[in-house]
C-alpha cells in the first residue's frame, strides 16, 4: 500500500502551499423558541453550528406528537460562522419562513419565524455573552493560534450541483421543488456521512463536502479514494430520482480537488463539526464551472488524481485557466467509471 508520505511526495512542493494562517469566524450561538399553536407553553433551546428538526427524539429540536411533521423534517445550519440558514429535507408538508416555503436554503434574519405544521420556531441570533456556561459550552474562536480549535488539514473536496435546476425551478410549484431538492440533499448527505466525510454547507442546489486525509491511510486508500467512491454513488443514485411532471432527467455534476484548508471545529461539544476555508475550496468551485464547459458529469484535478490509491485510469482533459488563479489547473475525467448500479 502507498503510504501517506509517498502520496504527498507525488504532489511535491504543492503539499507545502497555503501555510499562511486564515481567520475562521466564530460560530455565534442562536436561540430557538418553540411555540406550539395548540396553546402549549413555549420552550427554548440554544443551538450551535447545526440543529436538526423533526418529530423523533434524535433531533436537536424534537417536535414530537405531530404526525404532519416528518421524522427528519428540516435542519438549521450556520454556514459562514455568522449567518444561519434553514433547509427543508424533503418533508411532505413543508417548512416556511414567514409565508415563504423553503425550497433552497433560506438565510434566517434575527427574529425570523419558521413555521412547521402548526408549530412556530422563533429564531434569535445571540452574542456569546448572552449565553451562560451551562447553555453553550466550549464555543471558542477558531484561529490558527496555539490552543485554538482550527488546524491546517489536507482534504479531498467534492462540489456537486444539480444539472438543469434553474429550468426545473421555473416549471415546478415551490412545494414540489422543495420536496425533490430536500430529498436529494438528505440522501446525498447520508452518503457523505456514512463514508466518514463531512457536509460543509449547502449553497442553492450545490453541496460542498470534504474528507480529511489521514496520516496513515487505512484499507480505503485515503481521503480521495473514499470521496471518489461517494461521487460515483451520487452519479448512481441521482438518475433514480425525477422531476415530477417534467420530461427532464435528474442529473448532477461533480468537481473534485485535493489541497490544504483551514479546518475549524466551531460547534458545540455535542454537535461538533467543522467548516473549511482556503484556496483549495475556491479551486473546487472554479472546477465545477469548467466541468460544465467540458460537458462532463465528473472531473478531478491533477492534485486529486495524484492522491488516488490505487490509481484510476483517467482521460486527460488538459490544463484550464480558472478564474482568479494565476496558474492553470490540469483536469481529468475517469476512463473507467463504475457502473451506475452501485451498491449504496
Residue 291 is placed in which grid cell?
466541468
Task: Verify that 147 and 186 share a domain, yes or no.
Answer: yes
Across-strand partners of 107? 85
| Number of domains composing the chain | 2
The pLDDT of residue 132: 45
Mean per-residue pLDDT for 3-19? 43
Task: Verify that 123 and 264 share a domain, yes or no.
Answer: no
Task: Verify that 185 and 234 share a domain, yes or no.
Answer: yes
Return the CATH number at 64: 2.60.200.20
The pLDDT of residue 264: 59
327 has pLDDT over 50: yes
Instruction: Look up the domain containing 306 and give its range.
Output: 4-24+142-334
Task: Verify that 274 and 234 share a domain, yes or no.
Answer: yes
The 10s digit of each residue's pLDDT in 35-52 is 987 778 899 999 887 889
Note the residue count of the chain. Answer: 344
Chosen domain end from 83, 99, 130: 130
Task: Verify that 117 and 178 share a domain, yes or no.
Answer: no
Asked if the bond preceding 157 is cis, omega within 30° of 0, the reply is no
Q: If you search the block for the grid coordinates 405531530, which residue do you land on?
A: 66
Task: Verify that 114 and 155 share a domain, yes or no.
Answer: no
Residue 102 is placed in which grid cell?
423553503
Q: What is the largest CA-CA distance in the chain?
A: 64
Residue 25 is placed in which grid cell?
469566524
Task: Verify that 115 and 165 share a domain, yes or no.
Answer: no
Residue 150 is placed in which grid cell?
482550527
Domain assignment present for residue 248? The answer is yes
The 10s digit of each residue's pLDDT in 208-251 is 999 998 877 555 568 999 999 999 999 999 999 999 999 999 99
> Residue 298 — φ and ψ, nearest 5°?
-150, 125
- Write down the pTM of the prediction: 0.71
The pLDDT of residue 133: 43
Across-strand partners of 253? 161
Task: Verify that 214 and 293 share a domain, yes or no.
Answer: yes
Amino acid at each position: 500500500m502507498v503510504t501517506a508520505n509517498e502520496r504527498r511526495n507525488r504532489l511535491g512542493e504543492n503539499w507545502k502551499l497555503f501555510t499562511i494562517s486564515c481567520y475562521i469566524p466564530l460560530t455565534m450561538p442562536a436561540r430557538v423558541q418553540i411555540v406550539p399553536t395548540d396553546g402549549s407553553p413555549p420552550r427554548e433551546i440554544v443551538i450551535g453550528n447545526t440543529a436538526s428538526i423533526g418529530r423523533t427524539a434524535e433531533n436537536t429540536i424534537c417536535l414530537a406528537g405531530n404526525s404532519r411533521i416528518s421524522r427528519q423534517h428540516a435542519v438549521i445550519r450556520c454556514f459562514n460562522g455568522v449567518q444561519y440558514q434553514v433547509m427543508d429535507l424533503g418533508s411532505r408538508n413543508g417548512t416556511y419562513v414567514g409565508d415563504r416555503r423553503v425550497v433552497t436554503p433560506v438565510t434566517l434574519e434575527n427574529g425570523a419565524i419558521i413555521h412547521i405544521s402548526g408549530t412556530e420556531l422563533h429564531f434569535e441570533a445571540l452574542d456569546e455573552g448572552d449565553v451562560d456556561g451551562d447553555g453553550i459550552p466550549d464555543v471558542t474562536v477558531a484561529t490558527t493560534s496555539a490552543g485554538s480549535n482550527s488546524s491546517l488539514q489536507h482534504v479531498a473536496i467534492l462540489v456537486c450541483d444539480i444539472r438543469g435546476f434553474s429550468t426545473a425551478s421555473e416549471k415546478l410549484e415551490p412545494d414540489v421543488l422543495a420536496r425533490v431538492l430536500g430529498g436529494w440533499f438528505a440522501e446525498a448527505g447520508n452518503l457523505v456521512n456514512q463514508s466518514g466525510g463531512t457536509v460543509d454547507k449547502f449553497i442553492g442546489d450545490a453541496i460542498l463536502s470534504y474528507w480529511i486525509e489521514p496520516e496513515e491511510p487505512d484499507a480505503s486508500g485515503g481521503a480521495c479514494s473514499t470521496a471518489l467512491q461517494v461521487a460515483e454513488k451520487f452519479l448512481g443514485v441521482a438518475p433514480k430520482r425525477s422531476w415530477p411532471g417534467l420530461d427532464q432527467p435528474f442529473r448532477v455534476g461533480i468537481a473534485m480537488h485535493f489541497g490544504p484548508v483551514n479546518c475549524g471545529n466551531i460547534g458545540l461539544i455535542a454537535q461538533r463539526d467543522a467548516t473549511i476555508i482556503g484556496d483549495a475550496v475556491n479551486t473546487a468551485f472554479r472546477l465545477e464551472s469548467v466541468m460544465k464547459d467540458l460537458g462532463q458529469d465528473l472531473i478531478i484535478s491533477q492534485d486529486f488524481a495524484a492522491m488516488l490509491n490505487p490509481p484510476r485510469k483517467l482521460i486527460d482533459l488538459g490544463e484550464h485557466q480558472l478564474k482568479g488563479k494565476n496558474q492553470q489547473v490540469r483536469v481529468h475525467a475517469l476512463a473507467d467509471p463504475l457502473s451506475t448500479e452501485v451498491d449504496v
